[in-house]
Chains A and B, each alone.
Chain A
Amino acid sequence: EPEVTQTPSHQVTQMGQEVILRCVPISNHLYFYWYRQILGQKVEFLVSFYNNEISEKSEIFDDQFSVERPDGSNFTLKIRSTKLEDSAMYFCASSERTGVNSPLHFGNGTRLTVT
């Protein structure tokens, strides 16, 4: 079964540094998402992306965050200047279509630790 893949599995960075989290969505999927899960808390929506542009973003997704689909397979999340509170598990997800007939498939996540 095809899967969403994410790299790296764990990223440690110092406060103020830039990080790029990488994702390869399922190949025939058209809709891409980033979610965040702070340890022990619920999964929170960050951003959705379709047709090379952001469709929707949450309050968490401020100017420090950006997403990009640099080629036909990768989908990246960049945090420009990391803060301690950015420490979390970041999940990429994709879906074939939008709407109720197309469930989200999550990757294994990247654990970001900001020191």
Chain B
Amino acid sequence: GENVEQHPSTLSVQEGDSAVIKCTYSDSASNYFPWYKQELGKRPQLIIDIRSNVGEKKDQRIAVTLNKTAKHFSLHITETQPEDSAVYFCAAKSPLSGANSKLTFGKGITLSVRP
């Protein structure tokens, strides 16, 4: 099955700087890659996603890039703010994983934005 790796486990940046979070996946058939933000004690919330037929997608201060050859995808946050501090999970979906949209998550990275 799919295996999603996420490194490092923590990242600390200065407010205003950019943050880049990287994930790798194992199943070359995976075709959907969402990113979720989870604040302490709250639900994972979808912040951006990308499909395998697209190399990059941007939404205001966040962007996601996908390299299918290398099987990795990255989340880019520009002009970071303290409220960006949270745990960020990447995930992947393989069409071979069954009829439903089962997601395989990475372990998450804790992003801390220092004021």
Contact (Cβ within 8 A) A50 B105: no
Question: Which residues of the other chain, B, contact A91 by a CB distance below 8 angstroms?
Answer: 43-44
* Chain B residues touching A, range: 20 to 34
Tell me which residues from 92 to 115 in chain A have a Cβ below 8 Å from any Cβ of chain B: 95, 98-100, 102-109
Within 8 Å of chain B (Cβ to Cβ): is A60?
no
Q: How long is the Cα–Cα vector from A100 to B102 in the complex, in angstroms? A: 11
- Give the number of A-B contacts (CB < 8 Å): 70
Considering only CB atoms, which chain B residue lies closest to A9 in the complex?
Answer: B41
Partner of A45, one of B42, B44, B89, B102: B102
Question: Which residues of the other chain, B, contact A18 by a CB distance below 8 angstroms?
Answer: none
| B residues whose Cβ falls under 8 Å from a Cβ of A | 31-32, 34, 36, 42-46, 49, 51-52, 89, 91, 93, 95, 97-108
| A residues whose Cβ falls under 8 Å from a Cβ of B | 31, 33, 41-45, 48-50, 55-56, 91, 95, 98-100, 102-109
